[in-house]
Chain A
Amino acid sequence: MDAKKMKKAAKAYSVMCKSLDEDKWKYVPVKEEYTVMYSEYNDEAGDVTCKYFIDVERELVRFVAVLPVVFTQDQYVDATVACCVLNNSLAFGGFSLHLKSGEICFNMANAIHDGVPGKDFFKTFRLRTSAVIHKYAANFQKLQKGEIKIGDMVD
């Protein structure tokens, strides 16, 4: 691994953790992987598992959330169309369907090729991911249960 990239990732990870600490965020650090794991709790949807990390090789800040919902194969069309409809309304990140498990993921990445961002950047990044999860996680569950239609998922 490129030493320069490793150094940058270590610095970025440190700023990322400081930003979380400042907000008294509870997380599990996996320092050797420049990763933190945490759970976003939503009153309606329950716990959403989140992975927030530095992709050393690609020089990215990345976020992956797995929503607490599993679509069956006969529901895949609804799930994929819902993801497309929502992605069209998102400025940052995107939803996708994991074909093997039927889970819905939310992914977001941000290049940091030209330097290590400050705490404000990481705070804004996390707030953006959090806002999307809280807005849509329960709707995916309702869609899966047949309680709402795709058109009801967007504003």
Chain B
Amino acid sequence: MAGDKKQKLALKVSNTIKKYLDSQKWRYSVSNDQLSFSFGITTDRLPFQYQISVSPESESVYLSVGQDLVVPHDKRIAMAYALCAVNDYLVDGCFDYSVSEGKMSFRVVVAYGDAEFGATTVEYMINVAYSTLDKLNDAIVDYVEDRIDQREFLGKML
């Protein structure tokens, strides 16, 4: 359990996130400890689940975006190859991918510590995730759902 000072700071950061989400008129659910927010963003393909969590211990805000997509066994290695290479050219954020489960998510983290954490940073985090997924998700879904082959998939991703 984080100390009182860290807990207070985390709640302040969490309040900033809440205010931002409210300003956008987004519907979200919030955890009992008020430190985690969940909401969905629907695209013309699969819906994304966003989770923004404040960690008092590490004084950081984690944004994780997942989707209900399971990569079939025979495509899991190609997906690992593609996502690992994509991570190499991303400036911020990282694809996390469980090769054994075939599930992926996208993560953006901001440590606040003694830095200011305001609405601009919340917006930035959401935009980084959204723009990265918007750029790459069609190729990911098309490959998983057999609309493109491995060669075309890697060509679009890299």
A-to-B contact residues, CB < 8 Å: 55, 58, 60, 62, 76-77, 79-81, 83-85, 87-88, 90-99, 105, 107, 109-121, 124-125, 128
Decide yes or no whether B69 CB sits under 8 A from chain A: no
Complex-state Cα separation, A77 to B59, whole angstroms:
35
B-to-A contact residues, CB < 8 Å: 58-60, 62, 77, 80-81, 83-85, 87-88, 90-99, 107, 109-111, 113-121, 124-125, 158
A80 touches B121 (CB 8 A): no
Kindly list chain A residues whose C-beta atoms are within 8 Å of the C-beta of B113: 117-118, 120-121, 124
Q: Within the complex, what minimum Cβ distance (angstroms) separates B66 from chain A? A: 13
Can you show 22 pairs from A to B with CB atoms below 8 A apart? A55-B91, A77-B80, A77-B81, A80-B77, A83-B80, A83-B84, A83-B87, A84-B80, A84-B99, A85-B99, A87-B95, A87-B96, A94-B107, A95-B84, A96-B87, A107-B88, A109-B92, A111-B110, A114-B118, A118-B113, A118-B114, A118-B115
Complex-state Cα separation, A119 to B116, whole angstroms:
13
Main secondary structure of the interface of A (DSSP, over half): mixed
Known A84-B96, A112-B115; further 8 A-B contacts with Cβ < 8 A? A80-B83, A80-B84, A85-B99, A88-B96, A94-B94, A96-B85, A110-B109, A111-B125
Report which of A80, A109, A119, A128 forms a contact with B81, defined as CB distance below 8 A. Answer: A80
A81 touches B80 (CB 8 A): yes
Q: Within the complex, what minimum Cβ distance (angstroms) separates A7 from chain B? A: 16
The residue in chain A whose Cβ has the minimal distance to the Cβ of B82 is A80
From known contacts A111-B110, A115-B115, A121-B111, infer whether A97 and B97 are also in contact, taking CB-CB under 8 Å: no
Kindly list chain B residues whose C-beta atoms are within 8 Å of the C-beta of A79: 84
Kindly list chain B residues whose C-beta atoms are within 8 Å of the C-beta of A96: 84-85, 87-88
Kindly list chain A residues whose C-beta atoms are within 8 Å of the C-beta of B91: 55, 58, 60, 62, 109
A124 touches B97 (CB 8 A): no
Kindly list chain A residues whose C-beta atoms are within 8 Å of the C-beta of B60: 91-92
A120 touches B114 (CB 8 A): yes
From known contacts A58-B92, A109-B92, A111-B125, infer whether A81 and B77 are also in contact, taking CB-CB under 8 Å: yes
Kindly list chain A residues whose C-beta atoms are within 8 Å of the C-beta of B109: 91-92, 110
B92 touches A80 (CB 8 A): no
Complex-state Cα separation, A76 to B93, whole angstroms:
22
Q: Within the complex, what minimum Cβ distance (angstroms) separates B1 from chain A? A: 18
